[in-house]
Amino acid sequence: MSILPQLAFVLILGVAGFILSKRIQFLRRNILLGKAETRNDQPENRWKAMLLVALGQQKMFKRLVPAFLHLLIYVGFLVINLEVLEFVLDGILGTHRLFAPYLGSLYTVAINVFEFLAVAVLLSCVAFLVRRNVMKVERFTKPELKGWAALDANLILVIEIILMFAILTMNATDQILAGRGDAHYQVLGPLFFSSLLQPLFEGLSTGALVAVERFAWWFHIAGILAFAVYVTYSKHLHIFLAFPNTWYANLKPKGEMANMPEVTQEVNMMLGIPVENPSAPPAEIGRFGAKDINDLSWVNVLNAYSCTECGRCSSECPANLTGKKLSPRKIMMDVRDRAEEVGKSLDAGGPGLADGKSLLGDYITKEEINACTSCNACVEACPINIDPLSIILQMRRYVAMEESGTPAQWNAMFQNMETSFSPWKFSPSDRFNWSEKVKEEEMK
Amino acid sequence: MSTYTVPTMAEMAANAQTPEVLFWVGCAGSFDERYKAVTQAFVKILNKVGVSFAVLGPEEACTGDPARRAGNEFLFQMQAVANIQVMNAYEVKKVVTACPHCFNTIKNEYPALGGNYEVIHHSEFLQQLINEGKVTLQGGGEFKGKKITFHDSCYLGRANEVYEAPREVIKALDVELVEMKRCRTKGLCCGAGGAQMFKEPEAGKKDINIERTEEALATGAQAIAVGCPFCLTMMTDGIKNKNKEAEVKVYDLAEMIAKDMGI
């Protein structure tokens, strides 16, 4: 046997590995454009969240049909990757079905399981294509899902379908060849699903069958490697990032807004409360709130890269449901798009963040962030614990404190609070008037 | 016969007394015409049960929640730090409030500014009183057997995961509790949170409170129970918009309990 296929395989593997490592560095750098934040507390609860929410898909099951279809693809992905290990070793060593002699009849069982999962993945992908393109499920037809986002989603599904066909074709032709006594191929026990495809190939000559079998093998493994690279450009990154994303997710009550300690010293001084080190220069205060991705926490940017644009957030957002411009999914997509833009600019020696653009203004409008009721429906709905609300509230802080650009009615509310300690314009001395009536009433 | 009393922290301190619990009334509870009735109902229950409580009265100020959610962190902290100074001076340990926004802010956000208290929402407080047998219900009174739906407020539900206490309180009234399609973790906002109460909504095809009111009406409930002043306003407006004021009433939990107790 020529060693050429082995060399070609190692070369492909090496190139894919190189591109992937470059892409991972690019993504890592982009995520770390966000501000440093330490989130390593309560490790046991973080592992638990990751196991339940990412590995266990707990929150997916709020919607049963997509959860079931997604589970099939997910299990298929995890299990079929075991077979990829054999593919890689076969490719490097120039062997064929390396594990078969060691596993005996178990090998046939394993391949049957892989084939079952391949068919399950295939059918689920078809169902998902139908949901997106025929049934037009509402959350897949919102404005932010036009163009590349829709193409990306369909491409992923089509690529997965083709890859699954490649596995089945490979097994079908492999077993016909083995049956014809070709020494390179081993006769396995009956393979249920791929045997259904065999009639398609039985008329082919042995030479043609080998060509089909080898093409399917190469297509599958090269396809997987190419898909791995594609994923780094795609919303499909969630298959990896869902894990760190759930680990680093917020564990505090959802209603709690992060404190801004940089404001507290000034507030204490204004109220005449003794402060520690009053003469010490205030710590380097950057911008109040968030205008661009570098004002957000790196966790916010990780959230954006983890988002697979399923739209459950937007489909439960009261503002979005009632026709306002706000869509939590779009917020996440905008953060990612802006991080990509800045990253690409930096790599090209460009101005990066100083390109005259910003997340708020060029991607997200005030109208969007002003429409949020901070109800946490989006946070609750996200199957992997992404927090769009955190980003919205940080941008509101920028608008209020750096631009004084809040809507006029909010400014009036601020003024009432400053002068009469209530969001409404009532005299503070009337605050206790409600008690007069009840104090006169006889207790029954 | 005696009248109801509403002691203030200042009066109590002057008599060298400390109440077990501070009732945080909130701005809506103090100024909103409709919500004052809820404050009064809750105070009557506290009197009737003999809970040792006091209010801050004129010393109370807005928690700062709407300022913070509208982005004005300075103003929020000004309000918060001032309130914490007052509460710490009175050595407050436990706070009960009928407003989920005040509840969330004092419970979750005041600790970072030096205010550490045990904070409970009045739905949880009422549930405890019922469970302990301190509130004995007459079996529903005017609510008995009626269909009632509960609207989860976001700052009680998702924000702090209090879902069951208000439902337990309603069930204690011997009524038929019917759920809206979107309830508990999936509850739909009334539209007022995040400082929306204080401005007009952005342009859209519908107001959020109308969407929610339609959902409540679809249950066929004769009353909508709420545990939040903003939700009360939004749902009441929604019912008016649908011309259903005669058929469907909106109540706070404390009002329902007080009515049942005949006070």
Name the band, by pLDDT with cuts 50, 70 and 90, for residue A282: low
Q: Which residues of B touch A385 (CB under 8 A)?
A: none
- Whole-angstrom distance, CA of residue B58 vs CA of residue B30: 10
- Residue A414 contacts B, CB cutoff 8 Å: yes
A78-115 in b/e form (b: 16+ CB < 10 A) is ebbeebeebbbebbeeeeebbbbeeeeeebbebbbebb
Q: pLDDT tens digits for A68-104?
A: 999 999 999 999 888 899 999 999 999 999 999 999 8
Contacts of B186 (CB under 8 A, 6+ apart): A62, A316, A377, A380
DSSP B136-149: ---S-GGGTT-EEE
At A2 the pLDDT is 79
B195–A413 CB contact, under 8 Å: yes
- Whole-angstrom distance, CA of residue A374 vs CA of residue A256: 11
Quick one: average pLDDT of A296-319?
Answer: 98
Q: Which residues of A touch B67 (CB under 8 A)?
A: 413-414, 417, 423
A414–B36 CB contact, under 8 Å: no
- Whole-angstrom distance, CA of residue B242 vs CA of residue B232: 15
Q: Which residues of A touch B68 (CB under 8 A)?
A: 257
At B28 the pLDDT is 98
B158–A377 CB contact, under 8 Å: yes
Quick one: average pLDDT of B31-57?
Answer: 97
Which residue of chain A is at minimal alpha-carbon distance from B152?
A375
Q: Count CA atoms within 13 Å of residue A203 on its CB side.
A: 2
B2–A442 CB contact, under 8 Å: yes
Cβ contact B226:B197 at 8 Å? no
Q: Which residues of A touch B195 (CB under 8 A)?
A: 374, 410, 413
At A278 the pLDDT is 59
B77–A401 CB contact, under 8 Å: no
Shared domain for B120 and B142, answered yes or no, is no
Is pLDDT larger for residue A3 or for residue A35? A35
Question: Percent of chain A having pLDDT more than 70?
Answer: 98
Cβ contact B70:A444 at 8 Å? no
How long is chain A? 444
Q: Which two tokens stand for residue A188?
A: 């396995």
Q: What is the DSSP letter of A384?
A: T
B108–A256 CB contact, under 8 Å: yes
At B141 the pLDDT is 74
A396–B69 CB contact, under 8 Å: yes
Q: Which of B49, B108, B44 is nearest to B252 (CA)?
A: B44
- Whole-angstrom distance, CA of residue A356 vs CA of residue A361: 11
Shared domain for B141 and B256, answered yes or no, is yes
Mean pLDDT of chain B: 96
Out of B95, B126, B157, a domain closes at B126
Evaluate whether residue B92 is within a structural domain: yes
Write down the architecture of domain A288-402 according to CATH: Orthogonal Bundle (1.10)
Name the band, by pLDDT with cuts 50, 70 and 90, for residue B45: very high
Q: Count CA atoms within 13 Å of residue A268 on its CB side.
A: 13
Shared domain for B117 and B213, answered yes or no, is no
Domain boundaries, chain A: 4-31+63-247, 288-402
A322–B206 CB contact, under 8 Å: yes
Which residue of chain B is at minimal alpha-carbon distance from A408?
B199
Q: Which residues of A touch B113 (CB under 8 A)?
A: 259, 264
> Is the pLDDT score of A281 beyond 60?
no
- Residue B263 contacts A, CB cutoff 8 Å: yes
Q: Which of A281, A386, A353 is nearest to A35 (CA)?
A: A353
Evaluate whether residue B131 is within a structural domain: no
- Distinct helix (H) and strand (E) counts, chain B: 11, 8
At A83 the pLDDT is 87
Name the band, by pLDDT with cuts 50, 70 and 90, for residue A182: confident
Evaluate whether residue B83 is within a structural domain: yes
> Which domain CATH number covers B26?
3.40.50.1860
> Is the pLDDT score of B220 beyond 60?
yes
Q: pLDDT tens digits for B50-67?
A: 999 999 999 999 999 999
At A286 the pLDDT is 78
- Residue B85 contacts A, CB cutoff 8 Å: yes
Evaluate whether residue B4 is within a structural domain: no
Query: ipTM of the assembly?
Result: 0.97
- Residue A4 contacts B, CB cutoff 8 Å: no
Q: pLDDT tens digits for A100-147?
A: 999 989 999 999 999 999 999 999 999 999 999 999 999 999 999 999
B81–A255 CB contact, under 8 Å: no
Shared domain for B226 and B150, answered yes or no, is yes
Q: pLDDT tens digits for B162-216?
A: 999 999 999 999 899 999 999 999 999 999 999 999 999 999 999 999 999 999 9
At A283 the pLDDT is 58
The total of other beta-carbon atoms located within 10 Å of residue A38's CB is 5
Out of B126, B161, B183, a domain closes at B126
Number of domains in chain B: 2
Shared domain for B99 and B159, answered yes or no, is no
- Residue B241 contacts A, CB cutoff 8 Å: no
- Residue A425 contacts B, CB cutoff 8 Å: no
Shared domain for B34 and B84, answered yes or no, is yes
Alpha-helical segments (H) within chain B: 9-14, 26-31, 33-49, 65-69, 73-89, 100-104, 122-131, 164-171, 208-218, 229-241, 253-261
Evaluate whether residue B1 is within a structural domain: no
Single-letter amino acid, residue A301: V
Name the band, by pLDDT with cuts 50, 70 and 90, for residue B136: confident
Q: pLDDT tens digits for A207-245?
A: 999 999 999 999 999 999 999 999 999 999 999 999 999
Q: Which residues of A touch B77 (CB under 8 A)?
A: 260, 263-264, 267
Out of B79, B99, B126, a domain closes at B126
CA angle A300, A27, A367 (to 5 degrees): 35
Tell how strand B21-24 and strand B53-54 pair up: parallel
* Structural domain of B66: 9-126
Q: Which two tokens stand for residue A351?
A: 């101005």
Is pLDDT larger for residue B241 or for residue A1? B241
Shared domain for B31 and B120, answered yes or no, is yes
> Is the pLDDT score of A1 beyond 60?
no
Quick one: average pLDDT of A361-389?
Answer: 98
Shared domain for B181 and B222, answered yes or no, is yes
> Is the pLDDT score of B140 beyond 60?
no
Contacts of A116 (CB under 8 A, 6+ apart): A192, A193
Evaluate whether residue B202 is within a structural domain: yes
Shared domain for B122 and B144, answered yes or no, is no
CA distance B151 to chain A (A): 13
Name the band, by pLDDT with cuts 50, 70 and 90, for residue B15: very high
- Residue B29 contacts A, CB cutoff 8 Å: yes
Which residue of chain B is at minimal alpha-carbon distance from A313?
B186
- Residue B4 contacts A, CB cutoff 8 Å: yes
Mean pLDDT of chain A: 95
> Is the pLDDT score of A279 beyond 70?
no
- Residue A374 contacts B, CB cutoff 8 Å: yes
CA distance B58 to chain A (A): 5
3-state secondary structure of A442: strand
Q: Which two tokens stand for residue A33?
A: 């454009």
Q: pLDDT tens digits for B78-130?
A: 999 999 999 999 999 999 999 999 999 999 999 999 999 999 999 999 999 99
User: Which of B27, B68, B75 is the closest to A257 by Cβ?
Assistant: B68
